[in-house]
Amino acid sequence: MKNALVNLVNITKSFGDQMILDDLNLYIRENEFLTLLGPSGCGKTTTLRILGGFETPDKGQVIFDGKDITNLPPNKRNLNTVFQKYALFTHMTIAENIAFGLKIKNKSKTYIDDKIKYALKLVNLDGYENRMPDSLSGGQQQRIAIARAIVNEPKLLLLDEPLGALDLKLRQDMQYELIRLKNELGITFIYVTHDQEEALTMSDTIVVMNQGYIQQIGTPENIYNEPENAFVADFIGDSNIIGATMIQDRLVEILGARFACVDEGFGTNKPVDVVIRPEDVELVAPEEGTIQGTVTHLIFKGVHYEMEVEANGYEWLVQSTRMCPVGTHVGIKVDPFNIQIMNKPESEDEEAVGVNE
Amino acid sequence: MNKKMLSAPFLFWSALFIIIPLCMVFYYGLTDKNGAFTLENVMAIATPEHSKALWEALKLSVISTIICLLLAYPLAMILCNLNVNQNSFIIMIFVLPMWMNFLLRTLAWQTLLEKTGVINSVLGFFHLPTLNIINTPSAIVLGMVYNFLPFMVLPLYNVLVKIDRNVINAARDLGANELQTFMKIIFPLSLPGMFSGITMVFVPALTTFVISKMLGGSKILLIGNIIEQEFTQTGNWNLGSGLSIVLMLFIIFNMVISTVTDKDGEVNAL
Amino acid sequence: MMRNAARKIYIFLIFIFLYAPIIALIVLSFNASRTRAKWGGFTLKWYGELFQNKVILQALWNTLAIALLSALIATVIGTIACISMQGMKRRNRTILMGITNIPMLNAEIVTGISLMLLFISLGIKFGFMTILLAHITFNIPYVILSVMPRMKQLNPSTYEAALDLGASHMQAFFKVVFPDILPGILSGSLMAFTMSLDDFIITHFTKGPGIDTLSTKIYTEVKKGIKPEMYALSSLIFITVLILLILVNCTPKTEPKKEITERSKNSSKKWIAAVVCVILCIVAVFGFSTFKSNQSNEVYVFNWGEYIDPEVLVMFEEETGIKVIYDEYETNEIMYPKVEAGTSAYDVICPSDYMIQKMIENDLLQELDFDNMPNAVANIGAQYYEQSAAFDPGNKYCVPYCWGTVGILYNKTMVEEPVDSWSILWDEKYANNILMQDSVRDAFMVGLKLNGFSMNTLNENELQIAKEALIKQKPLVQAYVVDQVRDKMIGGEAALGVIYSGEAIYTQQENADLEYVIPKEGTNVWIDGWVVPKNAPNKKNAEIFIDYMCREDIALMNFEYITYSTPNEAARALIEDEEIRNSSIAFPDLSQYQNLETFNYLGEDGDELYNSLWKEAMSY
């Protein structure tokens, strides 16, 4: 909290009778790459727009660099946004687009020219000064949008699904490009996406959101390996989420079989959810497994095989480098460290309630 | 299906009812009563009564166009910000008056503006000074603005509503205040709609003869009145056509501008 | 908050501006008084009379039929054109779009004139067809410009996908492409329909005898004062459309939330469908009740606006079985070219003295057979035939219908001194309170008589002096109008007006403060008479019609309706009100006045001279 650049305090926002954000609290450290991740309608874009100054929260404060900027108009904020679908000014050349913010600030001509050159170089588009935005490809337009934002030397760059409109290969290239840029510029990025892979690849911190509540905050590893609830587990990566009973500390009964685990403090004979990542499911000889089942599907995925195993009435998703043909009788074994136990929500609402408090 | 064949009806129609008639106007305009070639009918624009009428028409139509633009621009911007999902609803509001006949609507202004008319009765009731603009150029301008305002609002609305909100947000984000955002982003992006609106107001205003007759008390002859008289009363079609050719020069000028600025012809669509 | 309030006020003001005239018209439709200038109390009678008024219903039918047909045909041609343009080279497409834009960007007056010239040179008879062709022409661009953007948004693969799935070209188009561009087609055709409905200028130039749309009907009526039934009709149309709009925009709110785009698409579809339904209903109801075609036995009458009791026409049709096709004009000068051009064949026309002379000289009329018209011989006073012999030597061509003088109508409450001279129209005290006639000969008559010249002069000096006088008078004149003098004087809009004596009687009935005088410098004594043009297709019927007009009871009906002095002595004897029968306005003793004249035809050069001087005066 000490070196927090941005602090969102008790932010509430609704449109009409639809609650978008409910009492949201979040801080962002300087020089952090923070990603807001969630399905559409989860409130991530609204959070970003509140930061950018395009929406005013109904309640709560936005503290930026120690000052309350809740009611400051966007043009007075020392931060910039890269918009979804770029929002380039189609009636201006690339150079004019990039120079826009600097001209507004009455910077000298030489300064502006230098900045344009620098920014274009940074995004690998030198020589594009006099082109019109329409003549550029999507990826190029995206990089111009980034260049246009960073020449203003903002302390904080907001990116609203900037790669959403690009194709897969380009998207992966741009992910590296963004990481490189962030490292070179040393500014704070807040990144909004619904693509979990993008979030895992680039972020220092991921904030998973759903229905206006923060579900979990953590490093990518943390989020992936220790999801705090079924929503996070389901949203991040593939997983087997199975209803189970916590027999006692460090022992859980899954589908009628008892598995050792490492979690404590859930009580005894409590219904819980367990998450087991497909790559953590080990297929062994039937007699070695905790439970037994039959392989029903098999797909080759390049780095591994993906299989479905029918065992005790549940289709287990399994990823393994070792192939077991369809019909093979197998045993299933899971390392205790790889069994993640979560509280079972008692209602739909509770599922969405914030867990960061 | 041969697509080329499909254009045949339209081509035929355009040739017969657009191109040939225009050629006939040129034929009549460039010949005298005996069918001999002459430039006299076109040059007749230089005579004092014709050039005065043209000048008056130009003056009033330019003023009307400017007023329309000044009224329509803020209106179109407000309408865009209304967040009315129903685009068609807004358009219908402006098209709706057209279902009341154009002549009746203009005539109604006579009723409203007359010395003892509705507006003056209301003003008189509040002991306010009366409004004496009926049968003056001001009344003609009012009639033009009234009748042609929708043709300015709709194209402007159509371009403004298409501007991505995020483009405006981006400008604000990059430090532009509201005025700067308007001057540097919204205004330049709305130019095609503006030109289209200007054409659609200026041309009918320049050539009207009904409004000047009904609201101007026939005291001010516009070029449209002169042409109409030549055709329906004096019976000098050659002169009427000659003056129409002059009028068309202005319109061609306008056409060039609007094709340059509006490549897709989309904003014209109401 | 301030800003929001300001915005709302601004929108509100614009709406007042847009809808104030419409509200005024709706209010007028409930006005019991026939004139627009006076509020005579609330009434619904015009709505009742509207449905009795065949002329207006016929005009409505024409308007709707033309609007519907032209929108339909334009939609088909325009949509096909859009499809064909998709596959074209860029250059060809630009040319075609350029052509499309011509009627949009060209002045309506030029489009109207060019089409008129085309129809004349092709020898097409002006009528329903010519209007329809003209409307289709200016409607096509609206369709193209509204379908084209939809067409561009279309993903070409969908058409190919349909082919791939086994559809024929036709099926692929109608099942895949057509539904996608349908919103564009619908809004285009609705736009076309509206534009056609609202058009006046192009119709004005391309219409023929006996056919009127609401626009042209109104234009003719404007000069004379709009019939209140017209306000009622327009109000009905407007309210119907308004209610539809409100209904269509309210219904989606009760439905469960859908995608926004889909909702608006749906509602506009529904909206258009609803409009089309209502129009079809109106057309069906009115169309079949009014459109009784009886081609064989008819008579084409071309008369001044409001110059006959409509009831008379109904009676004539019932008694003789001859269908009357009735058309109106505002001035002799407007009537003449239409007859001369020969594209409009009329059987009976009612021009004024000098115009009759002109038509005789230019060989446009045929001699009448007075044996077929016993009433015309028996009932018309001999002195009127004597008078008309001045322009119709031997009384071969014309049967007098109305006569009168031109004088000054003034408002006793606004003019103090006695009025006996034209010179009062040059008195600066009455600046902006004077109404002048908006026609060449009448205006010059005033200017010439003021200076003691003959109103038939061809002397250039005298005419120049008269022109200077008119120019000098111009700043004092409130407006140049034709028959609107009547309404304006009744409403107290002006103190003095130049008016035909026939209107004076009516205005006095409506406003007792008005007084009519024949100035001492002399004035115009005019006669309007029935004539039959050379190219009349039904001369027999024309004579039956003229004779019918001369029957005393019919002439009386007409006199009472139009209040213009009748030359029909038998009819005059039947007037019950003694005051009117002996009125010095309706039947003045002409021997009391000096310098009375009747207009002569001045020849083509004379006309041109008058016209050019008039143009100079008016554009000064």
A105: nearest CA partner in chain B: B175
Q: Note whether residue C272 is domain-resident.
A: no
Q: Note whether residue C594 is domain-resident.
A: no
pLDDT class for C261, splitting at 50, 70, 90?
very low
Please write the tens of the pLDDT for every residue from B212-258: 988 988 888 899 999 988 888 777 889 999 999 998 888 788 767 76
Q: Note whether residue C574 is domain-resident.
A: no
Check which CATH number belongs to the domain holding B140 and give it: 1.10.3720.10
Q: Note whether residue A354 is domain-resident.
A: no
Same domain, C213 and C94: yes
Please write the tens of the pLDDT for every residue from C562-595: 889 999 999 999 988 888 888 888 888 888 888 8
Distance CA(A343)–CA(A355), nearest Å, equals 12
Asked if residue A37 lies in contact with residue A210, where contact means CB atoms within 8 angstroms, the answer is: no
Contact: C21, B52; criterion CB under 8 Å: no
Q: Note whether residue A244 is domain-resident.
A: yes
Q: Which domain holds residue C101?
A: 55-226
Same domain, A129 and A196: yes
Please write the tens of the pLDDT for every residue from C174-233: 888 888 888 889 888 988 998 898 899 999 889 877 788 888 888 877 766 777 888 888
* Sign, Cα dihedral of C462, C468, C473, C474: positive
Q: Note whether residue C581 is domain-resident.
A: no
Same domain, C11 and C34: yes
Q: What is the ipTM of this complex?
A: 0.88
Task: Check residues C262 and A227 and name the one with the higher pLDDT.
Answer: A227
Q: Note whether residue B10 is domain-resident.
A: no
The shortest CB-CB distance from B169 to any of A74, A91, A105 is to A74
Contact: C81, B24; criterion CB under 8 Å: no
Pick the last residue of a domain from A225, A259, A290: A225
Contact: B146, C18; criterion CB under 8 Å: yes
Distance CA(B2)–CA(B4), nearest Å, equals 5
Contact: C493, B235; criterion CB under 8 Å: no
* B-C Cβ pairs (cutoff 8 Å, strict): 319
Check which CATH number belongs to the domain holding C507 and give it: 3.40.190.10
At residue C35, does pLDDT exceed 80? no
Same domain, A251 and A137: no
The arithmetic mean of pLDDT across residues A249-272, rounded, is 89
pLDDT class for A2, splitting at 50, 70, 90?
low
Give the per-residue pLDDT at B156: 92
Same domain, C118 and C5: no
Q: Measured between CA atoms, how close is B189 to chain A, in angstroms?
A: 7
Give the per-residue pLDDT at B2: 58
Same domain, A84 and A218: yes
Same domain, C44 and C65: no
Q: Note whether residue B31 is domain-resident.
A: yes
Same domain, A110 and A211: yes
Q: Note whether residue C106 is domain-resident.
A: yes
Give the distance between the most distant pair of CA atoms in chain C. 95
What six digits make up the tokens of A4? 């927090």
Contact: B169, A148; criterion CB under 8 Å: no
B70 touches C: beta carbon within 8 Å: no
Same domain, A116 and A205: yes
Task: Check residues C451 and B262 and name the one with the higher pLDDT.
Answer: C451
Same domain, C47 and C121: no
Return the residue in A56, A89, A107 with the most chain B beta carbons within 10 A, the one to mutate for interface testing.
Answer: A89
Q: Please tell me the total count of domains within chain C.
A: 4
Coil/strand/helix, residue B136? coil
A49: nearest CA partner in chain B: B169
Same domain, C349 and C454: no
Same domain, C489 and C515: yes
Same domain, A217 and A88: yes
Q: Note whether residue C589 is domain-resident.
A: no
Same domain, A94 and A57: yes
Q: Record the pTM.
A: 0.82
Give the per-residue pLDDT at B183: 93
Q: Please tell me the total count of domains within chain A.
A: 2
pLDDT class for C275, splitting at 50, 70, 90?
low
The shortest CB-CB distance from B173 to any of A74, A89, A90 is to A74
Same domain, C467 and C378: no
Same domain, A157 and A303: no
| Residues in chain A within 8 Å Cβ distance of B162 | none
* A-B Cβ pairs (cutoff 8 Å, strict): 63
Q: Note whether residue C153 is domain-resident.
A: yes
Q: Please tell me the total count of domains within chain B.
A: 1
Average per-residue pLDDT for chain C: 85
Contact: A105, B172; criterion CB under 8 Å: no
pLDDT class for A221, splitting at 50, 70, 90?
very high
The shortest CB-CB distance from C110 to any of B86, B248, B258 is to B248
Q: Which domain holds residue A311?
A: 240-345
Same domain, A255 and A171: no
The shortest CB-CB distance from B166 to any of A84, A91, A105 is to A84
Q: Note whether residue B7 is domain-resident.
A: no
Q: Note whether residue C487 is domain-resident.
A: yes
Pick the last residue of a domain from A190, A225, A260: A225
Contact: B171, A91; criterion CB under 8 Å: no
Give the per-residue pLDDT at C331: 79
Same domain, A74 and A221: yes
Contact: B170, A87; criterion CB under 8 Å: yes
Q: Note whether residue A317 is domain-resident.
A: yes
Same domain, A105 and A49: yes
B172: nearest CA partner in chain A: A75
Same domain, C104 and C221: yes
Same domain, A140 and A281: no
Return the residue in B47, B85, B101 with the most chain C beta carbons within 10 A, the one to mutate for interface testing.
Answer: B101
Q: Which chains touch C (3 or more CB pairs under 8 A)?
A: B
Pick the last residue of a domain from A225, A254, A284: A225
Asked if residue C572 lies in contact with residue C344, where contact means CB atoms within 8 angstroms, the answer is: no
Q: Note whether residue A130 is domain-resident.
A: yes
pLDDT class for C529, splitting at 50, 70, 90?
very high
Query: Residues A293-327, buried b or exposed e (16+ Cβ, 10 A)?
Result: bebeebeeeeebbbbbbebeebebbbbeeeebeee
Q: Note whether residue A356 is domain-resident.
A: no
HEC secondary structure over B43-93: HHHHCHHHHHHHHHHHHHHHHHHHHHHHHHHHHHHHHHHCCCCCHHHHHHH
pLDDT class for A350, splitting at 50, 70, 90?
very low
* Sign, Cα dihedral of A232, A238, A240, A242: positive
| Residues in chain C within 8 Å Cβ distance of B149 | 14, 17-18
Give the distance between the most distant pair of CA atoms in chain A. 78
Please write the tens of the pLDDT for every residue from C109-157: 889 999 999 998 888 888 889 999 999 999 999 899 888 888 888 777 7
Q: Note whether residue A352 is domain-resident.
A: no
Coil/strand/helix, residue A257? strand
Same domain, C391 and C427: no
The arithmetic mean of pLDDT across residues C506-532, rounded, is 91
Check which CATH number belongs to the domain holding A289 and give it: 2.40.50.140
Same domain, C98 and C209: yes
